[in-house]
Structure 1
Amino acid sequence: MSSTPVSAGFLPLVDAAPLIVALELGFAEEEGLALSLTRAPSWSGLRDLLAFGQVDAASMLSPVPVASALGLGGLPARIDALMVTSLGGEAVAASLPLAAKMRMAGYSFDFADANAARDSLRAVGEPLRIGIPFPFSMHAELLYRWLGEAIDVHTVPPPMMADAVAAGDVDLFIVGEPWGSVAVERGVGQLLLPGTAIWPASPNKVLAMRHEQVEADPDLTGGLMRAVWRACRWLALPENRLATSEILARPAYLDLSSEIIERILSGRVVVSPDGEERSADRIVEFFSGCATFPWRSQAEWIGDRLAARHGLEPAAARRIAREVFRSDLYRQHLGPAGADLPAASSRLEGAVKERGLHPAAQGRVMLLPDAFFDRAIFDPDLR
């Protein structure tokens, strides 16, 4: 029986693993898909590959489909977020000169306390040049949420972040792993926090496709969703971390030492060039606690943030945003495959203080903690 060709794009990041594993372990093939992968050099490049139809799907920054629907970024196509493929996965890091000043201001680099890190940065009292991977990214949203809107941000592709720090172009940055750890390995940066210290359950990447293709080819859409969902489930098993790191390390993917990747997957993070280690439980999450479910309230949070920054009407932005996180298709295609299905498709964001059952979940569905660093709660129904 012939297979249906499907192409997908990714950036060389640890949280591109679901697409890579879907290909390498045969999950896509089992769905009758001949999956091919294209590594893009930057997020703008990957966005354009998807928007102009040069790839069918992508491991995409979660705010990009929302920005597209809101008319931001000049995209010629609506993009749908079919499922979340990773929570977290980012690291916040400082240049060595800035890190030294933070130490003098009393910061302990415990890799967990976002409030203490922010207070230390403020105590340094200098304007900071901050690197982000893309304007429409969860990385940017986390930084704005943590440090406030009045920050000086510069776009730097993830693989070039260590070079930007070494050249003195940025003082502080947030980037998807392993590129924060690469800056540490190169002796040019020190990790301050995982992105999960700001928002533990932030939806970083989504499986994205053009809306017109999603609607035109439900069989391909469902097959790809199932393949990626099965890859996420496989990635969640601790016994698969070593194999995952060896797959991701290959030249076609991250082209890095598998040891660095395995440490990140295991939560044993080296935070300084001196070899200091910190534990970071769930620095990236692929599956547990309904991690793959595209909550419409997450899309509304993104839409609300983008509306405030770009002068859009907030209620309209939230209404448009929620439609591009396709929880309806998740229920349709992944429910029969065995995925846990929350009772509702929207929830209070930031309300889950500890792992456990939640009012928006059915009896057997466990949710992960998602409390913001400042304990604020986003209620889409009160906006």
Structure 2
Amino acid sequence: MEKSTQKTAKFFSRVLLAAIVTVFSLSAMKTNAQAGEPIKLGFIPLTDCSPIVMAKELGLFKKYGVNVVVTKESSWANVRDKILTGELDGAHCLYSMPFSVYTGVGGKAGSEMKIAMMLNSNGQAITLSNDFCGKVGFKDMAKVAPVVAAKLKAEKEVTFAMTFPGGTHDLWLRNWLAAAGVNQKTSKIITIPPPQMVANMKVGNMDGFCVGEPWGGVAAMQGIGFTQIATQDIWKDHPEKALVVNKDFSAKRREDLKKVMKAILEACMWLDVPANRKKTADIIGKAPYVNANNDVIQDRLNGEYNLGCKLGQKIYKGDQMVFHKGGLVNFPRKSHAIWAMAQYVRFGYLKEAPNYKAIADKLILQDLYKEVAASMKVKVPADDMKPFSLTMDKTVFNPANPAAYLKVVKR
């Protein structure tokens, strides 16, 4: 009987050991599978999707050990929805979109999208239709309001387009209208996805639009409209696109996110080398990416703007679209988040001021960026939360006191 008991005990010991080995094996397999699990990053067909696209094309994601799949998305609203649901882990995104969504301007209030790093500065434009050709010149702000007023009187409606409520293009457009003295309540402002801007202007659906390149350049090339102003003329070195990520992804796959950021940061450095811009234009101009004329992409990347409407050429040197600028571009600043949210109050999106600082703290992964930058020996600027002014509007914005700014700024 004793021998039988010993045999039974040995049998169960072997079964238990086998079970333990199996559990650890499955756990290891799960961990390994998760490490190689694809990371899905979206982009909108715009020139400033280049950091994500070129990180993929140059093999930088592989270099840093992450399996990244990039997907072309149809609209910013689509990007928002996919990031929030986790269908996308992250995306090339309007830097102000997370604040717009969280405050309820451009989505369900309280929905969290995290900013990991910035991707570029400058390089957007306001394009006017040919109805304005010969009546308003390049950067000729004094004539904008009278021409708009005359058009309103004749046609009862003037329509401008941007790409997402509370997004950067919306803010640049509204700042431009305010600077020109146009009462925004008299203008219709609609939302159109970036790649559809030129086609919509061609059939007369809008009088002007604000969007990222290359679509302003394409409109000028096709003779559909002309560049009235570039956004770097509104605010030199303004923040533009960001790497925005899903909340759970940023928490559960932090190490993988850091690798993604390293790859994109290296791509941003590469993109700022002038000799690399032709290759960039040739690649992102292809159908799977932006699907636009390579020469137009390259010219505007280089700061060579053929304005259209017989206005000639404008050359930008140092303030064209930039992606790194020694680290000045990529640092996500909380002061810029506060400025964007102050615009929501300024232009009537929000009736009351939000908790600016708390929202910026919640949505910007600034410490994570600093960690990545330190590992790559990239200098982090020390200018966050300091007062600043836009190039066009000289009103001082103090991120510690948005209320004072809102009392004096033009509406």
Q: What TM-score do you get using the length of structure 1 for normalisation?
A: 0.87
> Which position in structure 1 is the counterpart of 2:133?
99
Change over 3 Å in CA distance of 1:275–1:121 after alignment to 2: closer
Is the Cα contact below 8 Å between 1:303 and 1:321 reproduced in 2?
A: no
Alignment of 1:235-246 (within 5 A): 235-246=271-282
What letter matches 1:121 in structure 2?
V
Question: 1 or 2, which has the higher strand percentage?
Answer: 1
> Which position in structure 1 is the counterpart of 2:212?
176
Looking at structure 2, the residues matched to 322 and 87 of structure 1 have their Cα atoms a distance apart, in angstroms, of 22
> Which position in structure 1 is the counterpart of 2:141?
118
* Deviation at residue 324 of structure 1 after TM alignment: 1.6
Is the Cα contact below 8 Å between 2:94 and 2:167 reproduced in 1?
A: yes
Q: How many residues align?
A: 352
**Mean Cα displacement is larger for which, 19-28 or 65-74?**
65-74
Change over 3 Å in CA distance of 1:275–1:304 after alignment to 2: closer
Change over 3 Å in CA distance of 1:325–1:349 after alignment to 2: farther
**Mean Cα displacement is larger for which, 263-272 or 338-347?**
338-347
Is the Cα contact below 8 Å between 1:77 and 1:210 reproduced in 2?
A: no
User: Of residues 81, 86, 89 in structure 2, which corresponds to 1:56?
Assistant: 89
> Which position in structure 2 is the counterpart of 1:359?
none
SS at match of 1:191: strand
Is the Cα contact below 8 Å between 1:199 and 1:373 reproduced in 2?
A: yes
* Deviation at residue 318 of structure 1 after TM alignment: 4.4
Alignment of 1:160-199 (within 5 A): 160-199=196-235
Alignment of 1:219-258 (within 5 A): 219-258=255-294
> Which position in structure 1 is the counterpart of 2:26?
none
* Deviation at residue 326 of structure 1 after TM alignment: 2.1
Is the Cα contact below 8 Å between 1:301 and 1:318 reproduced in 2?
A: no
What letter matches 1:21 in structure 2?
M
> Which position in structure 1 is the counterpart of 2:106?
73
Alignment of 1:191-210 (within 5 A): 191-210=227-246
User: Does residue 84 of structure 1 match 2:85?
Assistant: no
Change over 3 Å in CA distance of 1:49–1:73 after alignment to 2: same
Looking at structure 2, the residues matched to 276 and 317 of structure 1 have their Cα atoms a distance apart, in angstroms, of 42
Looking at structure 1, the residues matched to 188 and 391 of structure 2 have their Cα atoms a distance apart, in angstroms, of 23
* Deviation at residue 192 of structure 1 after TM alignment: 0.9
Structure 2 unaligned spans of 5+: 1-31, 153-157, 179-183, 403-411
Question: 1 or 2, which has the higher helix percentage?
Answer: 2
Deviations 1:81-133 (A, max 9, x none): 1111011221111111112332xxxx3x2xxx4xxx32111121233311111
> Which position in structure 2 is the counterpart of 1:361?
none
Alignment of 1:190-339 (within 5 A): 190-272=226-308, 274=310, 276-281=312-317, 282-288=319-325, 290-308=328-346, 309-314=348-353, 316-339=355-378
User: Of residues 363, 367, 376 in structure 1, which corresponds to 2:395?
Assistant: 376
Deviations 1:48-99 (A, max 9, x none): 1211111111000111111222233334841011111011221111111112
What letter matches 1:283 in structure 2?
Q
User: Does residue 143 of structure 1 match 2:173?
Assistant: yes
User: Of residues 28, 37, 45 in structure 1, which corresponds to 2:70?
Assistant: 37
| Coordinate RMSD, CA, aligned | 1.9
Change over 3 Å in CA distance of 1:21–1:139 after alignment to 2: same
User: Does residue 28 of structure 1 match 2:61?
Assistant: yes
* Deviation at residue 322 of structure 1 after TM alignment: 4.3
* Deviation at residue 345 of structure 1 after TM alignment: 3.7
What letter matches 2:132 in structure 1?
L
Higher-Rg member (1/2): 2
Give the percent of matched residue pairs that are identical in Structure 1 and Structure 2. 27
**Mean Cα displacement is larger for which, 233-242 or 314-323?**
314-323
Looking at structure 1, the residues matched to 383 and 211 of structure 2 have their Cα atoms a distance apart, in angstroms, of 32
Looking at structure 2, the residues matched to 152 and 283 of structure 1 have their Cα atoms a distance apart, in angstroms, of 29
Deviations 1:128-171 (A, max 9, x none): 31111111211111121221343421111111111111111111
Looking at structure 2, the residues matched to 321 and 343 of structure 1 have their Cα atoms a distance apart, in angstroms, of 17
Looking at structure 2, the residues matched to 277 and 336 of structure 1 have their Cα atoms a distance apart, in angstroms, of 41
* Deviation at residue 374 of structure 1 after TM alignment: 2.2
Change over 3 Å in CA distance of 1:302–1:29 after alignment to 2: same
SS at match of 2:282: helix
